[in-house]
Structure 1
Amino acid sequence: MQIDITTPALLFPAITLLLLAFTNRFVALATLARGLRQRYKETPGMEAPVLGQIKNLKTRLLLIRNMQALGIASFFCCVLSMVLMYLSKQVVADYIFGASLFLLLGSLVLSFVETQISTKALNLELSDLETITSKKKRS
């Protein structure tokens, strides 16, 4: 397969949008982590649920950091591939571009895993609210 210098450039908008989405996830999680920390300090007796949520957030933050790292590496490889094509190093450029695709794929896989963990966390939070609501109704 023969690719030209414009082929890696086609990934630029996709990668930048993904990085923006990953950054937004990170900011939202950082805000949530700060809120949980405050709730942990202010609410005695709620240690177990809050500590579980904090553990979940730490896992998700690690995944998001790795998603961002793979996305940045993919972007770097796209640019490097274009530079190599400009320097008439087509074979090396093709391999580097292939690497960028695999890095992007890895980033997307981690994004999927993080989304699954996020969904489980929300379900736990909602079930906790359902339990509290049902206890209040019984009283």
Structure 2
Amino acid sequence: MEITLTTPALLFPAISMLLLAYTNRFIALASLIRNLKEQYTRTQNILLMGQISNLRERLFLIRNMQALGIASMFLCVLCMFVLFAENQTAGKYLFGISLFLLLASLALSFREIQISVNALTLELSDLENAKEEQKNFHSAR
């Protein structure tokens, strides 16, 4: 298979959009962590520690997602340079590694979304339990 300079360039928009999405997730997570820290400082509610632990894991995943995305972009640029120097074999390998890193980044993104959904499901179940307890309290009176 022959690849040209434009082949790795096709990944630039996709990787750029992914990195932007990852950055937005990081910013939202950082804001949430700051708010939870403030709440914990005020209330010393031990239940917040579970949420904070969950956020720590998500933060670790987002950092690695970003690192893999950046490494993928870096190898795409390096691949283009190597192809420009007319080294097809090295260019193919670099492009393949770049694709693999992008795939790994997407896999971590999928895992981070799963953790996020699980956390939100727990929040919703707590809310539903509180609503049910309130309903039972009012019906017992």
Report the equivalent of 1:34. 34
Report the equivalent of 2:84. 86
SS at match of 1:64: helix
Q: For 2:43 and 2:133, how far apart are their aligned partners in 1? A: 19
SS at match of 1:2: coil
Give the paired residue count: 137
Identity %: 59
Structure with greater Cα Rg: 2
SS at match of 2:13: helix
CA deviation after TM superposition for structure 1 residue 136, in Å: 2.2
Q: In the alignment, is residue 57 of structure 1 matched against residue 86 of structure 2?
A: no
Equivalent residue runs for 1:102-117 within 5 Å: 102-117=100-115
Report the equivalent of 1:23. 23
Superposed CA RMSD = 0.9
Query: Which blocks of at least 5 consecutive residues in structure 2 are unaligned?
Result: none
CA deviation after TM superposition for structure 1 residue 36, in Å: 0.7
CA deviation after TM superposition for structure 1 residue 39, in Å: 1.2
Report the equivalent of 2:128. 130
Aligned residue type for 1:16:
S
Query: Which blocks of at least 5 consecutive residues in structure 1 are unaligned?
Result: none
CA deviation after TM superposition for structure 1 residue 83, in Å: 0.3
**Match 1:75 to one of 73, 76, 97:** 73
Aligned residue type for 2:19:
L
Q: For 2:132 and 2:33, how far apart are their aligned partners in 1? A: 27
Aligned residue type for 1:29:
L
Deviation string, structure 1 residues 88-130 (Cα, Å, up to 9, x no partner): 1111011000000000000000000000000000001111111
